[in-house]
């Protein structure tokens, strides 16, 4: 149950419309909590109904009309509560590791191409993170807020670094063109 809180966080950082949020999810919060625009619109409706946010009273609220939201005090309180509450880590699900495990049984034929593709995707993601780091966290900025945000970004950087290294190892492990392990 984290999507509403992801949205509250984003809205506190900056009041936004549904589409703004969708865009920001694609390039920031979405790195560790992705959401589609439909999820976001639905959730905005719920959050408004619960009194956690409200639409900024601008013009006509017709279809195809931007509607911006801001967080109300109750919303901030809820986010604070959620942040401090104990939460069990969700069980992980990683299809790639599962595939390697399956490959140990049915053979690695055909795997290499996709592993290389994943390696490439992770390299791009890492580059993107490093770009953000250079841009948003130059040395010397040490407000509490910046330090926490930087910490989160570094988690992303280190995870990508891990995957790149692991995939490289995995590719070395793969046998020549064809082999069957069963």
Site for DNA in 12-71 (CB under 7 A): 17-20, 34-39, 41-42, 44-45, 61-67
Q: Which does 75 bind (CB under 5 to 8 A by kind): DNA, its own copies, none?
A: none
Cross-strand pairs, 69? 16, 55
C-alpha to C-alpha distance for 21 and 10, rounded to whole angstroms: 7
Residue 168, both tokens: 């490289």
Cross-strand pairs, 71? 53
Q: According to the binding rule CB under 7 A, does residue 80 interact with DNA?
A: no
Residue 116, both tokens: 């290389």
Residues numbered 131-160 forming contacts with DNA, rule: CB under 7 A: none
C-beta closer to its own copies: residue 66 or 103: 103
Q: How far is the CB of 11 from DNA (least distance, A)?
A: 13
C-beta closer to DNA: residue 77 or 98: 98
Q: Which does 137 bind (CB under 5 to 8 A by kind): DNA, its own copies, none?
A: none
C-beta atoms surrounding 160 within 10 Å: 21
Q: Which does 95 bind (CB under 5 to 8 A by kind): DNA, its own copies, none?
A: its own copies
C-alpha to C-alpha distance for 132 and 105, rounded to whole angstroms: 41
C-alpha to C-alpha distance for 44 and 66, rounded to whole angstroms: 13
Write the DSSP string, 58-82. -S---TTS--EEEE-HHHHHHHHHH
C-beta closer to its own copies: residue 97 or 127: 97
Q: How far is the CB of 60 from its own copies (least distance, A)?
A: 31
Q: How far is the CB of 75 from its own copies (least distance, A)?
A: 10
With 0-12 / 13-18 / 19 or more C-beta atoms within 10 angstroms meaning exposed / middle / buried, residue 27 is: exposed
Residues numbered 93-122 forming contacts with DNA, rule: CB under 7 A: 93
- Enumerate binding residues for DNA (CB under 7 A): 1-3, 17-20, 34-39, 41-42, 44-45, 61-67, 90-91, 93
């Amino acid at each position: 149950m984290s999507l509403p809180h992801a949205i509250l966080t984003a809205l506190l950082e900056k009041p936004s419309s549904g589409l703004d949020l969708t865009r920001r999810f694609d390039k920031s919060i979405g790195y560790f909590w992705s959401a589609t625009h439909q999820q976001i619109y639905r959730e905005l409706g719920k959050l408004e109904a619960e009194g956690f946010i409200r639409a900024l009273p601008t013009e006509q609220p017709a279809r195809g009309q931007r509607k911006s939201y801001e967080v109300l005090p109750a919303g901030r309180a809820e986010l604070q509560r959620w942040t401090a509450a104990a939460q069990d880590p969700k069980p992980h699900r990683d299809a790639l590791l599962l595939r390697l495990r399956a490959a140990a049984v049915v053979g690695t034929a055909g795997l290499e191409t996709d592993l290389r593709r994943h390696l490439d995707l992770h390299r791009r993601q890492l580059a993107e993170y490093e770009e953000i780091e250079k841009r948003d966290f130059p040395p010397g900025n040490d407000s509490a807020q910046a330090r926490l945000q930087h910490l989160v970004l570094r988690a992303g950087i280190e995870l990508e670094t891990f995957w790149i290294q692991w995939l490289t190892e995995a590719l070395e492990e793969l046998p020549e063109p064809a082999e069957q392990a069963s």
